[in-house]
């Protein structure tokens, strides 16, 4: 659809008059050099007629015109209504030179009797209007004029201040309804959250107007076809034609405002007035926006009476200013209907009841009953628990084409069996053709099982394909072999799938963003994902962080569930965090160590509550590591502790609690933010106590961070609290180190050396 704008031709030719003249004099005085001739040229775009005659601007036959002075006062004598002929109009006025004006226009159809245009600052949408009246279409604009020149020539474009709301069905749905004895002839709608007062002066809803509910009464449905560029998950498909069920124009917001939401009640009447939909059909949260079309298309006649229209946070704006809203069939949690194939052997699923009925009928030994399935609408399973297609003994064997539609809001619990869980528990190929799951979207699902678990497919074997499927906002739980889309494949093809905002929970191993586990002979390609959270058990995470040639490499973020046992290691170890985050620790990430070299790069620990660890051996508790002892070194580069607490006995540190003599400590580009670090004796943002050469560079403690020593252990020589270091026993250099003024450092009895350092016992402290 084009931009649906109306443009009218206004040629202003007039005489020039003195600025001291009255309005009557401006209209009647002869020309002098003190006046301005202004000409506004406005035309219509041709080529809008791709939508038959609906919304092409041809229905406007009048233009109301008004002029306002610089203070916004209308020059009432200049108000006029002009005829629109061949989509052009002429409006002649005379303007005093040196003055500023605003000229407002409102084009409409007079026969519709839909608007009171007496005052263009308060155009009223009249009550008691019929539905399906295209003549209610209207267009508006204003032009600011600075009459300081001899001649004014401007082009003016009028735009629709209304949203167009259309309801339609395809020919198959219409034919099915006719077979069932329903031939819709008339319709009405009731809409909420709309307005009935508009100002052409500022192209906005009247400031004092409140949203109202409007009823557009029963009237004959449009005879034209509704043409829609059907959007399938962000991609414009072919233009499709639908039968109109209703057409209405709604006043919903000011120029440039975003979409708003309205509830719509739809009522139809049969051709002989003997039937109507009872109860009536309701659509919730429909997006509408001025100068845009919202098209509600789908099974509006044969589906259950009440629908919930699910609107994503971000609507996709097609190039033609259309919003396309698909009907969602909502399951009541009980009803089920066994579907019937059409003449071509295709099972066309157009209701939640049919989908559930097919699932129930797909168990062993009926697993290959449904060879060709097409999803015709979005389906909301209402948060209920379903069993999915197939089971631990049977599999889905056929083609399932989602056509870009979604199945949402369901739960699957298969934790009572050892294998297979998903919307399709098992897919396999036994009928001689490929088994294909494609073009399906799943939203807001929770799938739980033991092994081989995915939101869409649990396990796929042999000549099977899962392609172009998408999973959003879902959680999948298993012991092992678990993925957002597919749990396990052996010989199958997993390609071009996508997952976003999903959570994968597992307790042992073999978890991944799209496909949990790939066995031999499989093809995996073109899959992408965004924002996948892994919740691993402590045992699973420890298993995945096994060093390889002395290197531990993180490939994803982790949230730890259960009781974490600090990793122990021997020999030199490098940990490459790759910018990832570990959350949910209740003990230090690493146990204390001696006689080795530790390097930690680009790793964040967040949202953890790290208590006194059994491995601290009295030396302290650190979020990353408790202590380094005797002939060791530790280097932290780009490491961070965020939104966490660390609680120690004698010492607690954001990175490390204690380093002994004969070690070295290097901290570069590290930070502690929004944390609480507490110990009986000494506490610090980065290192509680250092007895070896220490260099801290370009690091900071920031945010709402509190560092506290709860007792005065000065007589024991134990560290006190400091924002960066608790106690210095050896040469320590701080370079480009920052402490926010929001950071709180507390000492009980002891006197701190500075906010950055609690005590300097020996060695030299250098601050650069």
CATH no. for residue 79?
2.60.40
Cα–Cα distances in angstroms (integers) from residue 81 to residues 106, 120, 160, 480, in the given order:
9, 11, 18, 75
Q: How confident is the model at residue 715 (pLDDT cuts 50, 70, 90)?
A: low
The tokens for 538 are 């402590």
Same structural domain for residues 320 and 426?
no
- Look at residue 294 in the predicted model and tell me its pLDDT: 85
The tally of domains found in the chain comes to: 4
Cα–Cα distances in angstroms (integers) from residue 22 to residues 15, 92, 242, in the given order:
14, 17, 57
CA 102 to CA 121: how far, in whole Å? 12
Asked if residues 764 and 727 have their Cβ atoms less than 8 Å apart, the reply is no
**Omega of the bond leading into 365 within 30 degrees of 0 (cis):** yes
The tokens for 242 are 């639908």
> Does residue 24 have a pLDDT over 80?
no
* Phi, psi dihedrals of residue 308, rounded to the nearest 5°: -115, 115
**Has residue 339 been placed in a domain?**
no
CATH number at residue 675: 2.160.20
Q: Say how many Å lie between the first and final Cα of the chain, rounded.
A: 65
CA 674 to CA 453: how far, in whole Å? 37
Choose the final residue of a domain: 502, 535, 568: 535
**Has residue 668 been placed in a domain?**
yes
- H or E segment to which residue 539 belongs: helix 538-544
Tell me how crowded residue 128 is: count the other CB atoms within 10 A of its CB: 9
Q: Which residues contact 419 (CB under 8 A, 6 or more apart)?
A: 392, 449, 450, 451, 452, 458, 459
**Has residue 331 been placed in a domain?**
no
Choose the final residue of a domain: 535, 561, 584: 535
The pairing of strands 378-385 and 424-427 is: unpaired
Same structural domain for residues 292 and 351?
no
**Has residue 622 been placed in a domain?**
yes
> Does residue 393 have a pLDDT over 80?
no
CA 486 to CA 455: how far, in whole Å? 7
The tokens for 431 are 């009928």
CA 312 to CA 318: how far, in whole Å? 15
Tens-place pLDDT, residues 412-424: 999 888 888 999 9
Tens-place pLDDT, residues 665-675: 999 999 999 99
Same structural domain for residues 564 and 655?
yes
- Look at residue 42 in the predicted model and tell me its pLDDT: 56
Residue with tokens 């001696």: 594
> Does residue 35 have a pLDDT over 80?
no
Same structural domain for residues 141 and 180?
no
Same structural domain for residues 154 and 172?
no
Same structural domain for residues 356 and 432?
yes
The pairing of strands 123-125 and 197-199 is: antiparallel
- Look at residue 279 in the predicted model and tell me its pLDDT: 80
- H or E segment to which residue 262 belongs: strand 260-270
**Has residue 342 been placed in a domain?**
no
Choose the final residue of a domain: 138, 159, 180: 159
Q: The domain containing residue 292 runs over which residues? A: 163-326
Same structural domain for residues 285 and 369?
no
**Has residue 701 been placed in a domain?**
yes
Same structural domain for residues 248 and 382?
no
CA 188 to CA 126: how far, in whole Å? 16
Same structural domain for residues 579 and 705?
yes
Tens-place pLDDT, residues 682-697: 899 999 989 889 999 9
> Does residue 588 have a pLDDT over 50?
yes
Single out the residue of 72, 57, 137, 151 nearest to residue 104, CA to CA.
72
**Has residue 341 been placed in a domain?**
no
Single out the residue of 177, 198, 200 nearest to residue 125, CA to CA.
198
Same structural domain for residues 687 and 571?
yes
Angle ∠(286,289,292) on CA atoms, nearest 5: 105
User: What Rg do the C-alpha atoms of the chain give, in angstroms?
Assistant: 36
Tens-place pLDDT, residues 96-144: 888 899 999 998 999 999 999 999 999 999 988 999 998 898 888 899 9
**Has residue 338 been placed in a domain?**
no
The tokens for 402 are 């989602």
Same structural domain for residues 24 and 138?
yes
Same structural domain for residues 444 and 555?
no
* Phi, psi dihedrals of residue 100, rounded to the nearest 5°: -115, 140
């Amino acid at each position: 659809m084009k931009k649906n704008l109306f443009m009218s031709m206004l040629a202003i030719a007039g005489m020039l008059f003195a600025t001291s003249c009255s309005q009557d004099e401006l209209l009647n005085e002869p020309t002098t050099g003190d006046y301005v001739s202004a000409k506004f040229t406005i035309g219509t775009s041709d080529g809008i007629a791709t939508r038959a005659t609906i919304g092409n601007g041809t229905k406007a036959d009048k233009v109301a015109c008004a002029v306002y002075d610089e203070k916004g006062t209308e020059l009432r004598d200049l108000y006029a209504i002009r005829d629109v002929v061949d989509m052009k109009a002429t409006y002649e006025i005379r303007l005093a030179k040196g003055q500023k004006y605003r000229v407002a226009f409102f084009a409409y159809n007079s026969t519709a009797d839909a608007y009171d245009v007496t005052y263009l600052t308060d155009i009223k949408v009249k009550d008691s209007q019929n539905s399906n009246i295209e003549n209610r279409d209207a267009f508006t604009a204003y032009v600011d004029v600075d009459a300081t020149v001899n001649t004014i020539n401007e082009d003016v474009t009028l735009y629709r201040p209304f949203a167009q709301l259309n309801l339609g069905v395809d020919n198959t749905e219409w034919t099915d309804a006719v077979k069932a004895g329903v031939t819709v002839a008339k319709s009405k709608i009731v809409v909420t959250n709309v307005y009935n007062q508009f100002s052409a002066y500022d192209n906005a809803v009247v400031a004092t107007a409140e949203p109202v509910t409007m009823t557009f009464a029963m009237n004959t449905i449009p005879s034209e076809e509704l043409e829609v560029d059907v959007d399938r998950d962000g991609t414009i498909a072919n233009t499709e034609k639908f039968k109109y069920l209703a057409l209405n124009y709604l006043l919903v917001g000011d120029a440039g405002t975003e979409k708003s939401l309205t509830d719509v009640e739809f009522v139809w009447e049969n051709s002989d007035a003997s039937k109507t939909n009872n109860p009536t059909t309701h659509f919730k949260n429909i997006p509408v926006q001025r100068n845009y079309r919202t098209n509600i298309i789908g099974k509006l006649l044969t589906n259950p009476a009440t629908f919930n229209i699910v609107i994503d946070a971000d609507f996709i704006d097609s190039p033609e200013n259309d919003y396309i809203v698909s009907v969602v069939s909502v399951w009541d949690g009980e009803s089920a209907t066994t579907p019937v194939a059409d003449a071509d052997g295709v099972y066309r699923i157009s209701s939640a009841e049919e989908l559930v009925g097919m699932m129930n009928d797909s168990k062993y030994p009926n697993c290959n009953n449904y060879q060709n399935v097409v999803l015709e609408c979005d389906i909301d399973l209402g948060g209920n628990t379903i069993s999915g297609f197939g089971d631990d003994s049977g599999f889905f064997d056929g083609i399932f084409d989602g056509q870009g539609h979604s199945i949402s809001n369901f739960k699957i619990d298969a934790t009572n069996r050892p294998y297979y869980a998903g919307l399709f528990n098992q897919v396999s190929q036994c009928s001689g053709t490929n088994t294909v799951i494609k073009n399906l979207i799943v939203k807001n699902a929770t799938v739980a099982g033991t092994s081989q678990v995915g939101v869409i497919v649990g396990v796929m074997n042999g000549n099977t394909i899962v392609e172009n499927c998408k999973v959003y906002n879902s959680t999948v739980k298993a012991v092992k072999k678990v993925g957002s889309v597919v749990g396990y494949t052996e010989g199958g093809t997993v390609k071009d799938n996508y997952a976003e905002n999903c959570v994968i929970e597992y307790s042992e191993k073999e978890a991944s963003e799209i496909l949990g586990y790939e066995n031999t002979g499989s093809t995996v390609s073109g899959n992408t994902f965004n924002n996948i959270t892994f919740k691993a058990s402590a045992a699973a995470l420890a298993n995945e962080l096994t060093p390889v040639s002395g290197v531990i490499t993180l490939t994803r973020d982790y949230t730890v569930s259960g009781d974490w046992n600090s990793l122990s290691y021997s020999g030199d170890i490098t940990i490459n965090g790759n910018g990832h985050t570990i959350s949910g620790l209740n003990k230090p990430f690493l146990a204390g160590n001696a006689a080795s070299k530790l390097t930690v790069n680009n790793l964040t620990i967040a949202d953890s509550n790290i208590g006194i660890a059994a491995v601290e051996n009295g030396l302290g508790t650190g979020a990353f590591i408790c202590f380094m002892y005797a002939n060791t070194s530790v280097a932290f580069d780009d490491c961070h502790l965020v939104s966490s607490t660390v609680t120690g006995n004698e010492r607690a540190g954001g990175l490390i609690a204690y380093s002994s003599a004969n070690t070295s400590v290097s901290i570069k580009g590290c930070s502690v933010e929004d944390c609480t670090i507490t110990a009986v004796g000494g506490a610090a943002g980065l290192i509680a106590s250092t007895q070896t050469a220490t260099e801290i560079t370009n690091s900071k403690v920031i945010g709402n961070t509190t560092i506290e020593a709860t007792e005065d252990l000065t007589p024991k020589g134990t560290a006190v609290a400091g924002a960066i270091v608790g106690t210095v026993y050896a040469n320590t250099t701080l370079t480009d180190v920052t402490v926010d003024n929001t950071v709180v450092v507390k000492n009980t009895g002891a006197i701190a050396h500075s906010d950055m350092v609690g005590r300097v016992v020996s060695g030299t402290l250098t601050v650069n």
